[in-house]
Structure 1
């Protein structure tokens, strides 16, 4: 009986109904792209939901919103500048330096804002900090995936 079950199992392998999706060399997997987008959406949505439900004044909410948008933009800009330099695409030193400076300023503004926020409890500060970092990392990863997929398509 064990021989029959082994034969049936082997036949199942031969007629595997799963379709193999062919990826181009250097293209990220669909799972990695999906995980990157999910992390970005979770990070940004969590941050915004936290801001919406926060008991802070509107000008404080605006500050944290602006810091997130600035951080996302600077992170993507820096990723592009680093990648361009690595691939031999001309990047001026001033743009490269400003990209680093902008990301450092965005992270510093977030840290200083959370440190000085007296109306926010420590657990909320941690929540905002983690959502901010997750969003920045995910934005960089999404940008990298888009660039890798575009490059893989151009090779063909």
Structure 2
């Protein structure tokens, strides 16, 4: 039971992870909403954000599965990393060529990175909580 308790993330870390994720996503989208760019450009940046979040979570899951001995094909692992790097490249290329102030470009980049990092943290916390609760329930069943 002590081992599963050690794997359980603290409430503070869980809360900060969610706040960071929501802050990054909301800031990025509020920036898009208020931007004076065409709707297709806004759609591009929104799609890159969503694709980036999914890709980052996929990488985290694949890495964690491998560490826990859960089979992960090299193809899936490679695609997860490729798509994560691709989203960063797409955002970089888009911002590099955008007709935006440098401060706006930095705002989108920072919001994007914050969102991706915190998505990984939220996924990790979710998985750790599930694992810890399964360990606790199996320990409880074994003691009764």
Does the alignment reach a TM-score above 0.5? Answer: yes
Measure, in 1, the Cα distance between the counterparts of 2:19 and 2:108: 18
Q: Residue 13 of structure 2 aligns with which residue?
A: 32
Q: Secondary structure at the match of 1:131?
A: helix
The question of 1:145 aligning with 2:131 is answered: no
Unpaired stretches in structure 2, ≥5 consecutive residues: 137-144
1:22-81 CA-partner distances (Å, limit 9, x unpaired): x82310000000000000000000000000000000000000000000000000011000
Measure, in 2, the Cα distance between the counterparts of 1:84 and 1:50: 35
State how 1:45-60 maps to structure 2 within 5 Å.
45-60=26-41
Structure with higher RCO (Cα < 8 A, 6+ apart)? 2
Unpaired stretches in structure 1, ≥5 consecutive residues: 1-22
Q: Secondary structure at the match of 1:55?
A: coil
Q: Residue 89 of structure 1 aligns with which residue?
A: 70
Choose 1 or 2 for highest CA Rg.
1
Q: Residue 18 of structure 1 aligns with which residue?
A: none
Counting matched residue pairs gives 133
**Would you identify which runs of 4 or more consecutive aligned residues in structure 1 move more than 3 Å?**
none
Identify the structure with the greater helix proportion.
Answer: 2
Q: Secondary structure at the match of 1:28?
A: coil
Q: Secondary structure at the match of 2:100?
A: coil
Contact 1:81–1:91 (Cα < 8 Å) also in 2 = yes
**TM-score, normalization: structure 2?**
0.91
Q: Secondary structure at the match of 2:8?
A: coil
Instruction: Note the C-alpha offset of 1:154.
Output: 1.1
State how 1:90-109 maps to structure 2 within 5 Å.
90-109=71-90
Q: Residue 47 of structure 2 aligns with which residue?
A: 66
